[in-house]
C-alpha cells in the first residue's frame, strides 16, 4: 500500500477520538515528527526507506496514542476503539504481505480455496495446482501425519472452521479478503475487550492507555493481520466470558461454540469456562454438548475424534517439563512475554494483586488454566513456526483487563521502558514480517543481530528455554521478581536500571562465553552446513549443530583453557582447533572430546579430514 | 508525569546510573561517543526539570551506540535523541528556560571539553542573563542559546555579540516588550542545532550545510597542486571524472563572487562561492573570514562538537567531453594566496 494512503489514514486517526486543543496539539506533534523525519532522511539518504517509513508510521501512531491516553478532550467508546483498530489493521495487512504467508496460514487458505472451488475439504487437487493458488506458495505439500481419506483424499490437519469463516472474504477478494476477515475479528476483539473493561468497571482513562498497547502491539497486532485462528479465538473467548459474566446465554453459547470449533485445543478452555463460571446444571450440559461437537466433526473428517492428537497427550508428564514451559512462556528470548510482548509483564503484576482485580479477570485466568497446564509440557510450547506467543494470544485480553484494572499502581518508569520496547517490536515486525518466524535454535532476532554486529555471542544474554542456556533461570527469576516489583513508587529508577542492564549485558557479552553453540550466528562459518536443516519438522527435538567436512572451518570467540567438545561423527574426523590437532574417532551417538584453547580470544576450528557434526563446546569452568 | 517525579536523591541516583550505563556502553572513540556519560547526565537533568519519561533517552542513546556502527548515522541518531528529548522538555516545562538553556549550551559548546573554560563560563552566564531579562520563556531560551552559540569566542571580542544581544534585550524590555513565548519556533530552532550537536561548530558557522543532502564518500583522483597567481596546470581528465575539486588558500578575506581562477576549455570562471578558503570554517579563523559555504561543498567534515569544521573545497563541473583541462589561477590573487587543485571526483561505479 502506498505510504501516502497510510499517511492519510494516520491523519484520520486523531479525528476519530480527539477534539479541541488536544486534536490541534496532536496534529502539531505529528507535523513536527514528520518534519524531523524529513530532515533525518535528507541527512541519511542511504537509510532503508521502507524501514524509515514504517518507523515514522509507528511513531506517528505512538504520538496519537499518547494524546489518546493523556489528552483532555477525548471522545472515547468501544466503537471508536474499533474504528481506530479497523484503520490500523487495514494499513497493516499489506505490510504483512511483503513475503508470502507462512506457517499454518497457507494451509488454512488452501482449505478455504477447496471449499470455495470444489465444495469439499480434499486438498489433493489443490496441491497439484498450487500455481493457481492465492497462497503464493509453490512449495506446499501435505504435512507429515495429515489425514488421508479411503479414496486417496488428502485432508489438512487444520480444523476447517476458520477456513469456513474466511470463505465470504475469500470469495470477495481472495487472499486480501481472507486477511480482512481476520482483521475484522481483530476489530471485534478490540471492541469486545473495551466493552468488557467497561463491564468490569475499569476507568476510561486506564482503558484508553491500555488500548494501544493491547490492540496494536505484539502478539495481537500480528495475529490480527495474518491467517491464524488465535485472534478469532480471543474474540470468542472474550465474548464467552462477557456472556457468562452477564448471564446471557445467547452470547456465551455461540461464542463457546465458535471457540471450540476453531481448534480442538480450545476444548480445554471451554472446559475451564464451564468448570469455573457456569453454575447451573442446564448451562453446564449445554456447554459440554458444545465441547463434543468438534470431536464429532474431526471424527467425520479424519476418522479420529482427536485428529492428529492422541488421548495419551492429556496424561500428566514430568514436573520439570511444566516448569520449563512456564518459565519459557514468561522469559524466553524468542517466545516469552518478557521479550516479545513485555506489556503483559504487567499482567503478571495484576496476578500478584489477585484479590484487587476484577472478577472477570480472575475468571478468565481460571478458565485458561487447564489449557495452559496442558500447553506447558509440550515440546512446542513456544508456538512452533509462528509469530511469538501463538498459543496464548487468546489470554491477552484477560491480561489486558487485569492491567487496566491496576493501571494507577503500575511503575511509570517500567511502563515507559515497556512502551519503548513495544514500539520497537512493532516496527521490527511490520518492517520485516518474515522475522516474526524464527527457527527454534535458542537464539532470537535481536540477539542474532547484535551478535553479528559485535562478532560475539550476544544471544547468550537472552534466556532460552528452547535450547537451555545460562541466562534461562536467571531470566525466569528476574521475571518473577518483576511481577512483584512493577508497582508505582516514589523513586522509580526503572529506566536507568534498564539502561544499565542493557549496557552491562552488552559489555559482558563481548567476552567469550562459557559455551559455544556452533550453529549460532556469532560463529563465522566458512563452509559446512546447518544441522538439522532449517525447516526440519519438530526441529526443537534435535540437538542443533554445524556439520563440517574436510576443508571447512569455523571462527569464534572462546575462553582459554580446557573445554569439552560435543560432537557426532560417522566416518571420524581430524580437526585443528587453535593450532592443535585432534582426532575424533567414529561415534554412532553424541560423544565428547577434551580440547585445550591456549588463550582466550578468537580461534579457528578447521576440519582437516573426514566429517563431523559439532554440537557445542563447553568450557571446563562451566561443567556441571 | 510530574506527579511521578523522583526525590532529589533519586534524581542523583538516576543520573549516576545513567552515566555509568553510558560509560559501559561506549564502543567507539570519537569525543561524542566518549562524552555519552556526560550527555546522559544532561538528559537526566532534562527529565528532572520536565518529565521523568525523558529518562528514556538514556537507553535510546545506549541502543544507538551499540547498534549503529556507521559513525555518521550513529552521531546523528544520538543528536536526534537528544533533540527530541529537549523539544519534549520545552513543551512539558516551558518555564524552566534557564536550565534548558544551560543544558543546550553544554551540549553544543562543551563537547569536546573546551580549552578556554573561563570564556565558556562567561558565555553561559551571559546566556542566562539574557534568558532572565527576556522572562525565562522558550523564546528567551532560544535567544540566549543562539547568542552564545553563534559566538566563536575567539578572538575575545566576539563576546560582544551576546553582550549586544543582552543590551538589545534589556532595551526592549525597558520599552515594554512583552514576554514572548513562541514555544514551537523556539524549541524547533534549538532542537535543530541539537540534532547536529556532534558537529555543533559547523552548525554555528555553516548552518546551510545541514539542510543539504550529504555527498557520498566520493572516489577521487588526487592531484594536490597549489597554483599561485597566473600559474596554470594542464590535466588529463580521468575516465569517469565528473567534477574538479578546488579550494582556495589564504583567501578567507575574499567576498562572494571574487574570481580565483579559470578552467579551459570554455573559460569557466571559478569564484568564491564555488570554492572557499580551505580552512575558513575553523573556529580560530572564522571570525576574520568573509567566504560563504561553497554551493556544492566537497570538503571533508573534520573534528567533532564545537571544534567541527569543513574544509572549503567545492565541486566545479568539468567542461563536457573535454579530454584535457587547464586550470589557471586568477591574476588578481595576492601574494601568498593560491588556487588549490585537490583532484577529480569520479562518478560512482
d(CA A161, nearest CA chain B) in Å? 44
Residues from chain B that touch A28, judged by Cβ atoms under 8 A, are 184
CB atoms within 10 A of CB B48: 23
Q: Are the Cβ atoms of B17 and A499 closer than 8 angstroms?
A: yes
Question: What percent of chain B is modeled with pLDDT above 90?
Answer: 82
Q: Are the Cβ atoms of A412 and B53 closer than 8 angstroms?
A: yes
Return the biggest CA–CA distance within chain B. 73
**Pairing relationship of beta strands B241-249 and A601-619 according to DSSP bridges:** unpaired
Mean pLDDT for A102-130 is 96
- Mutation pick from B1, B2, B3, B4 vs chain A, by most beta carbons of A within 10 Å, is B4
Burial class (CB in 10 A: 0-12, 13-18, 19+), A280: exposed
Query: Which residues in chain A (491-510) have CB-CB distances under 8 A to chain B?
Result: 491-493, 495-500, 502-504, 506-507
Query: Which residues in chain A (137-196) have CB-CB distances under 8 A to chain B?
Result: none
Does residue A209 register a pLDDT over 50? yes
Please tell me the predicted confidence (pLDDT) of residue A622.
Answer: 61
d(CA A56, CA A234): 30
d(CA A624, CA A431): 42
CB A95 within 8 A of CB A223: no
CB B158 within 8 A of CB B286: no
Report the residue from A44, A420, A488 with minimal CB separation from B76.
Answer: A44
CB atoms within 10 A of CB A484: 11
pLDDT category of residue A541 using cuts at 50, 70 and 90: confident
CA B283, B284, B287, B288 torsion: positive or negative?
negative
d(CA A46, nearest CA chain B) in Å? 9
CB B133 within 8 A of CB B97: no
**B219-346 fold:** Jelly Rolls (2.60.120)
pLDDT category of residue B1 using cuts at 50, 70 and 90: very low
Region of poorest pLDDT, from A93-97, A289-293, B300-304: A289-293
CB A413 within 8 A of CB B55: yes
Q: Are the Cβ atoms of B4 and A39 closer than 8 angstroms?
A: no
Please tell me the predicted confidence (pLDDT) of residue A623.
Answer: 54
The answer to whether position A612 is within a domain reads: yes
CA A462, A466, A469, A475 torsion: positive or negative?
positive
Q: What are the tens digits of pLDDT across the range A146-173? A: 998 888 899 999 999 999 999 999 999 9
The answer to whether position A609 is within a domain reads: yes
Quick check: helix, strand or coil at residue A428?
Answer: helix
Q: Are the Cβ atoms of A42 and B212 closer than 8 angstroms?
A: yes
Report the residue from B53, B69, B211 with minimal CB separation from A416.
Answer: B53
Burial class (CB in 10 A: 0-12, 13-18, 19+), A289: exposed
d(CA A525, CA A533): 15
Q: Are the Cβ atoms of B1 and A39 closer than 8 angstroms?
A: no
Query: Would an 8 Å CB–CB cutoff place A38 in contact with chain B?
Result: no
Counting every residue, how long is chain B?
A: 349
Compare all CA atoms of chain A with the CA of B64 and give the residue at the minimum distance.
A503
Cα–Cα distance list, A54 to A2, A63, B56, B111 (Å): 12, 14, 21, 33
Question: What percent of chain B is modeled with pLDDT above 70?
Answer: 98
Please tell me the predicted confidence (pLDDT) of residue A592.
Answer: 95
Please tell me the predicted confidence (pLDDT) of residue B4.
Answer: 67
pLDDT category of residue B257 using cuts at 50, 70 and 90: very high
DSSP alpha helix (H) spans, A99-229 = 105-117, 124-128, 161-199, 204-215, 220-223
Quick check: helix, strand or coil at residue B347?
Answer: coil
Q: Are the Cβ atoms of A36 and B67 closer than 8 angstroms?
A: no
Please tell me the predicted confidence (pLDDT) of residue A302.
Answer: 78
Does residue A543 register a pLDDT over 90? no
Q: Are the Cβ atoms of A502 and B21 closer than 8 angstroms?
A: yes
Q: What are the tens digits of pLDDT across the range A307-335? A: 878 888 888 889 999 999 999 999 999 99
Cα–Cα distance list, A403 to A196, A213, A236, A251, B64 (Å): 13, 11, 20, 25, 31
Residues from chain A that touch B22, judged by Cβ atoms under 8 A, are 499, 503
Q: Which three cell numbers stand for residue B185?
A: 519556533
In the DSSP assignment, the letter for residue A444 is -
CA B294, B298, B300, B305 torsion: positive or negative?
positive
Does residue A430 register a pLDDT over 60? yes
Does residue A624 register a pLDDT over 80? no
To which H or E segment does residue A129 belong? none
Q: Are the Cβ atoms of A416 and B4 closer than 8 angstroms?
A: no
Q: Are the Cβ atoms of A499 and B192 closer than 8 angstroms?
A: no
d(CA B122, nearest CA chain A) in Å? 32
Residues from chain B that touch A42, judged by Cβ atoms under 8 A, are 211-213
Q: Are the Cβ atoms of B10 and A412 closer than 8 angstroms?
A: no
Burial B315-331 (b: 16+ CB within 10 A, else e): bbebeeeeeebebbbbe
CB A566 within 8 A of CB A544: no
Return the biggest CA–CA distance within chain A. 78
Q: Which three cell numbers stand for residue A166?
A: 474466511
Query: Would an 8 Å CB–CB cutoff place A3 in contact with chain B?
Result: no
Of A33, A84, A79, nearest in space to A56 by CA: A33
How many inter-chain contacts (A to B, CB under 8 Å) are there?
A: 119
Strands (E), A242-376: none
Cα–Cα distance list, A340 to A328, A330, A425, B160 (Å): 12, 10, 7, 56
CATH number for A534: 2.60.120.260
d(CA A117, nearest CA chain B) in Å? 50
Residues from chain B that touch A39, judged by Cβ atoms under 8 A, are 192, 195
DSSP alpha helix (H) spans, A432-574 = 445-454, 471-485, 494-509
Q: Are the Cβ atoms of A506 and B66 closer than 8 angstroms?
A: yes
DSSP bridge partners of B226: B340
Q: Are the Cβ atoms of B17 and A412 closer than 8 angstroms?
A: no
User: What is the dihedral angle through the alpha carbons of B100, B105, B108, B110, rounded to the nearest 10 degrees?
Assistant: -130
CB A397 within 8 A of CB A269: no
The answer to whether position A585 is within a domain reads: yes
Give pTM, 2 decimals: 0.93
Q: Are the Cβ atoms of A44 and B73 closer than 8 angstroms?
A: yes
Q: Are the Cβ atoms of B58 and A499 closer than 8 angstroms?
A: yes
Residues from chain A that touch B84, judged by Cβ atoms under 8 A, are 36
B254 Rama sector, left if φ>0, alpha if ψ -120 to 50, beta otherwise: beta
- Mutation pick from B27, B42, B53 vs chain A, by most beta carbons of A within 10 Å, is B53
Number of domains into which chain A is organized: 1
d(CA B288, nearest CA chain A) in Å? 29
Q: Are the Cβ atoms of A500 and B188 closer than 8 angstroms?
A: no
Q: Which of A552-566, B156-170, B177-191 holds the top average pLDDT?
A: A552-566
d(CA B245, CA A206): 61
Q: What are the tens digits of pLDDT across the range A218-274? A: 999 999 999 999 999 999 999 999 999 998 989 999 999 999 999 999 999 999 998
Burial class (CB in 10 A: 0-12, 13-18, 19+), B292: middle
Residues from chain A that touch B24, judged by Cβ atoms under 8 A, are 500, 503-504, 506-507
Please tell me the predicted confidence (pLDDT) of residue A284.
Answer: 80
- Mutation pick from B14, B27, B50 vs chain A, by most beta carbons of A within 10 Å, is B14
d(CA A56, CA A11): 13
Q: What is A311-346 written as a DSSP string?
A: GGGGS---HHHHHHHHHHHHH-TTTSHHHH-GGGHH
The answer to whether position A554 is within a domain reads: yes
pLDDT category of residue A3 using cuts at 50, 70 and 90: confident
Q: What are phi and psi of A119, to 5 degrees?
A: 70, 20
d(CA A317, CA A377): 7
Q: Which three cell numbers stand for residue A12?
A: 484520520
Q: Are the Cβ atoms of A491 and B6 closer than 8 angstroms?
A: yes
Domain borders along chain B are: 2-211, 219-346
d(CA B18, nearest CA chain A) in Å? 5
**Cis amide prior to A219 (ω within 30 degrees):** yes
Quick check: helix, strand or coil at residue A544?
Answer: coil
What domain range includes position A540?
516-622
Mean pLDDT for A573-578 is 96
DSSP bridge partners of B58: none
Region of poorest pLDDT, from A289-293, B148-152, B161-165: A289-293
Q: Are the Cβ atoms of B21 and A416 closer than 8 angstroms?
A: no
* Mean pLDDT score across all residues of chain B: 93
Of B56, B32, B176, nearest in space to B111 by CA: B32
Quick check: helix, strand or coil at residue A540?
Answer: helix
d(CA B187, nearest CA chain A) in Å? 11
Q: What are the tens digits of pLDDT across the range B102-118? A: 999 999 999 999 988 99
Strands (E), A337-478: none
Burial class (CB in 10 A: 0-12, 13-18, 19+), A589: exposed
CB proximity list for A417: less than 8 A, separation 6 or greater: A342, A494, A495, A498, B56, B59
Q: Are the Cβ atoms of A496 and B188 closer than 8 angstroms?
A: no
Compare all CA atoms of chain A with the CA of B88 and give the residue at the minimum distance.
A29
DSSP alpha helix (H) spans, A97-160 = 105-117, 124-128
A538 Rama sector, left if φ>0, alpha if ψ -120 to 50, beta otherwise: left
Does residue A517 register a pLDDT over 70? yes
d(CA A514, nearest CA chain B) in Å? 21
Q: Which three cell numbers stand for residue B298?
A: 566537497
Q: Are the Cβ atoms of B44 and A28 closer than 8 angstroms?
A: no
Mean pLDDT for A508-513 is 94
Please tell me the predicted confidence (pLDDT) of residue B5.
Answer: 79
Of A601, A503, A508, nearest in space to A558 by CA: A601
**Pairing relationship of beta strands B232-236 and A580-584 according to DSSP bridges:** unpaired
Amino acid at each position: 500500500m502506498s505510504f501516502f494512503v497510510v499517511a492519510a489514514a494516520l491523519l484520520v486517526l486523531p479525528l476519530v477520538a480527539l477534539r479541541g486543543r488536544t486534536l490541534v496539539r496532536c496534529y502539531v506533534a505529528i507535523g513536527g515528527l514528520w518534519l524531523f523525519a524529513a530532515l533525518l532522511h535528507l541527512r541519511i539518504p542511504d537509510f532503508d526507506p521502507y524501514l524509515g517509513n514504517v518507523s515514522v508510521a509507528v511513531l506517528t501512531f505512538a504520538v496519537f496514542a499518547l494524546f489518546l491516553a493523556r489528552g483532555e478532550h477525548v471522545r472515547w467508546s468501544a466503537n471508536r476503539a474499533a474504528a481506530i483498530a479497523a484503520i490500523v489493521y487495514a494499513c497493516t495487512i499489506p505490510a504483512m504481505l511483503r513475503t508470502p504467508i507462512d506457517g499454518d496460514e497457507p494451509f488454512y487458505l488452501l482449505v478455504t480455496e477447496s471449499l470455495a472451488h470444489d465444495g469439499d475439504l480434499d486438498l489433493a487437487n489443490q496441491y497439484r495446482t498450487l500455481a493457481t493458488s492465492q497462497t503464493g506458495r509453490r512449495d506446499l505439500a501435505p504435512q507429515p501425519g495429515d489425514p488421508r481419506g479411503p479414496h486417496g483424499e488428502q485432508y489438512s490437519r487444520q480444523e476447517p472452521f476458520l477456513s469456513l469463516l474466511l470463505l465470504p472474504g475469500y470469495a470477495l477478494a481472495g487472499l486480501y479478503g481472507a486477511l480482512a476477515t481476520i482483521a475484522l475479528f481483530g476489530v471485534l476483539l478490540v471492541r469486545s475487550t473495551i466493552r468488557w473493561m467497561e463491564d468490569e468497571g475499569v476507568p476510561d482513562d486506564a482503558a484508553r492507555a491500555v488500548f494501544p498497547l493491547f490492540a496494536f502491539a505484539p502478539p495481537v497486532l500480528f495475529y490480527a493481520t495474518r491467517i491464524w485462528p488465535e485472534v478469532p479465538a480471543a474474540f470468542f473467548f472474550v465474548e464467552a466470558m462477557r456472556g457468562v459474566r452477564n448471564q446471557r446465554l445467547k452470547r456465551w453459547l455461540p461464542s463457546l461454540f465458535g471457540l471450540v470449533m476453531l481448534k480442538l485445543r480450545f476444548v480445554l478452555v471451554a472446559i475451564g469456562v464451564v468448570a469455573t463460571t457456569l453454575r447451573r446444571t442446564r448451562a453446564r450440559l449445554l456447554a459440554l454438548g458444545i465441547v463434543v461437537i468438534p470431536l464429532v466433526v474431526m471424527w467425520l473428517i479424519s476418522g479420529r475424534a482427536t485428529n492428529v492428537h492422541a488421548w495419551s497427550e492429556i496424561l500428566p508428564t514430568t514436573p520439570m517439563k511444566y516448569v520449563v514451559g512456564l518459565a519459557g512462556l514468561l522469559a524466553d528470548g524468542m517466545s516469552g512475554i518478557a521479550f516479545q510482548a513485555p506489556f503483559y509483564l504487567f499482567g503478571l503484576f495484576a496476578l500478584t494483586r489477585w484479590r484487587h482485580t476484577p472478577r472477570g479477570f480472575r475468571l478468565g485466568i481460571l478458565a485458561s488454566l487447564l489449557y495452559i497446564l496442558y500447553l506447558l509440557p509440550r515440546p512446542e510450547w513456544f508456538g512452533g513456526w509462528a509469530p511469538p506467543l501463538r498459543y496464548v494470544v487468546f489470554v491477552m485480553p484477560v491480561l489486558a483487563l487485569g492491567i487496566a484494572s491496576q493501571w494507577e499502581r503500575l511503575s511509570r518508569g517500567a511502563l515507559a521502558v515497556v512502551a519503548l520496547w513495544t514500539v520497537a517490536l512493532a516496527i521490527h515486525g511490520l518492517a520485516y514480517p518474515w522475522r516474526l518466524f524464527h527457527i527454534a535454535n535458542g537464539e532470537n532476532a535481536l540477539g542474532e543481530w547484535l551478535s553479528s554486529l559485535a562478532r560475539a555471542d550476544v544471544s547468550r544474554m537472552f534466556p532460552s528455554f528452547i535450547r537451555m542456556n545460562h541466562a534461562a533461570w536467571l531470566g525466569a527469576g528476574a521475571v518473577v521478581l518483576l511481577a512483584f516489583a512493577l508497582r508505582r513508587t516514589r523513586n522509580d529508577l526503572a529506566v536507568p536500571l534498564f539502561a544499565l542492564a542493557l549496557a552491562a549485558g552488552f559489555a559482558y557479552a563481548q567476552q567469550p562465553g562459557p559455551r559455544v553453540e556452533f550453529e549460532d550466528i556469532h560463529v563465522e562459518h566458512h563452509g559446512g552446513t546447518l544441522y538439522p536443516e532449517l525447516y526440519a519438522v519438530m526441529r526443537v527435538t534435535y540437538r542443533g549443530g554445524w556439520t563440517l567436512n574436510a576443508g571447512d572451518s569455523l571462527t569464534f570467540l572462546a575462553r582459554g583453557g580446557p573445554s569439552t567438545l560435543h560432537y557426532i561423527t560417522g566416518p571420524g574426523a581430524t580437526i585443528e582447533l587453535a593450532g592443535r590437532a585432534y582426532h575424533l574417532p567414529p561415534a554412532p551417538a553424541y560423544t565428547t572430546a577434551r580440547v585445550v584453547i591456549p588463550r582466550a580470544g578468537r580461534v579457528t576450528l578447521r576440519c582437516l579430514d573426514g566429517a563431523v557434526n559439532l554440537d557445542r563446546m563447553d568450557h571446563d569452568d562451566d561443567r556441571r | 508525569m510530574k506527579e511521578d517525579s523522583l526525590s532529589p536523591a533519586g534524581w542523583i541516583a538516576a543520573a549516576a546510573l545513567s552515566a555509568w550505563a553510558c560509560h559501559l556502553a561506549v564502543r567507539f572513540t570519537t569525543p561524542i561517543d566518549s562524552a555519552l556519560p556526560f550527555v546522559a547526565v544532561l538528559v537526566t537533568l532534562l527529565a528532572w526539570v520536565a518529565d521523568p519519561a525523558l529518562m528514556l533517552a538514556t537507553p535510546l542513546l545506549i541502543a544507538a551506540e551499540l547498534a549503529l556502527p556507521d559513525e555518521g548515522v550513529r552521531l546523528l541518531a544520538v543528536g536526534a535523541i537528544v533533540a527530541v528529548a529537549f523539544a519534549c522538555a520545552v513543551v512539558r516545562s516551558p518555564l524552566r528556560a534557564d536550565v534548558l538553556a544551560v543544558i543546550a549550551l553544554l551540549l553544543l559548546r562543551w563537547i569536546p571539553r573546551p580549552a578556554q573554560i573561563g570564556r565558556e563560563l562567561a558565555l553561559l552566564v551571559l546566556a542566562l542573563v539574557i534568558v532572565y531579562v527576556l522572562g525565562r520563556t522558550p523564546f528567551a531560551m532560544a535567544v540566549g542559546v543562539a547568542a552564545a552559540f553563534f559566538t566563536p569566542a575567539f578572538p575575545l571580542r566576539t563576546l560582544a555579540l551576546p553582550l549586544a544581544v543582552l543590551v538589545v534585550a534589556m532595551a526592549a524590555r525597558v520599552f515594554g516588550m512583552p514576554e514572548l513565548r513562541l514555544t514551537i519556533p523556539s524549541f524547533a530552532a534549538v532542537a535543530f542545532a541539537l540534532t547536529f550537536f556532534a558537529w555543533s561548530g559547523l552548525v554555528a558557522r555553516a548552518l546551510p550545510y545541514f539542510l543539504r543532502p550529504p555527498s557520498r564518500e566520493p572516489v577521487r583522483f588526487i592531484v594536490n597542486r597549489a597554483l599561485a597567481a597566473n600559474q596554470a596546470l594542464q590535466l588529463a581528465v580521468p575516465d569517469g571524472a565528473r567534477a574538479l575539486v578546488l579550494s582556495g588558500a589564504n583567501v578567507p578575506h575574499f567576498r562572494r563572487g571574487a574570481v580565483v581562477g579559470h578552467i579551459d576549455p570554455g573559460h569557466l570562471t571559478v569564484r568564491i562561492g564555488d570554492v572557499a578558503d580551505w580552512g575558513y570554517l575553523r573556529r580560530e579563523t572564522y571570525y576574520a573570514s568573509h567566504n560563504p559555504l561553497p554551493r556544492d561543498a566537497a570538503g571533508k567534515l573534520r573534528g567533532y562538537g564545537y571544534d567541527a569544521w569543513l574544509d572549503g573545497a567545492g565541486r566545479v563541473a568539468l567542461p563536457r567531453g573535454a579530454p584535457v583541462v587547464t586550470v589557471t589561477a586568477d591574476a588578481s590573487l595576492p601574494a601568498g594566496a593560491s588556487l588549490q587543485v585537490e583532484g577529480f571526483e569520479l562518478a560512482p561505479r
